[in-house]
Amino acid sequence: MAIYGLGRIDCTPVEKALSNATQCVEEVKQAVDIFNHKLVSLVNDLNTKLPDAKFTFIDFSAIQETNPLPVGSFSNSTCCKVSIDFLCEPFTKPCLQRYRYAYFDGIHPTEVINKKVAILSYNSPSHMFVHPMDISQLVSDWSARSNIPK
């Protein structure tokens, strides 16, 4: 089972607006870091206490921190005009180059971020993003234990 940690909610347009901040909100980042750290501990405990099950932690925040596009061509602003609830204004057109934006509206990451998270969750080059294994290793381990051909 893959368990995803919290993403960079400290950097969402809604969080920055509510905090009157121009940069990511440090107090929220600290809370996210504590939550994710405790989630890693939970995954370790589950793997120890339930040896017939396998769990892995996917660090959404760490993946989000890696920029998918060259510096200067990527925006942390929203891809649409947002309403008071930080969702897209009804009946307005979103930006044309959505792949250049981190956030679709004030809350939700765009496809470019979600695609990067999916790719690095499945086949991670680093344990910086997954613990103790990526999803491909999780599946491989399950297949080997279940005598299922790959």
pTM of the model: 0.85
β-pairing, 2-4 vs 101-103, is unpaired
- Can you give the pLDDT of all 150 residues of the chain as single tens digits? 999 999 999 999 999 999 999 899 999 999 999 999 999 999 999 999 998 899 999 999 999 888 665 555 678 789 999 999 999 999 999 998 888 888 999 999 988 889 999 999 999 988 899 999 999 999 988 777 766 555
pLDDT at position 71 is 55
Taking residue 46's Cβ as centre, other Cβ atoms within 10 Å add up to: 15
How far is Cα 64 from Cα 116, in angstroms, rounded to an integer? 8
Q: Are 1 and 53 in contact (CB under 8 A)?
A: yes
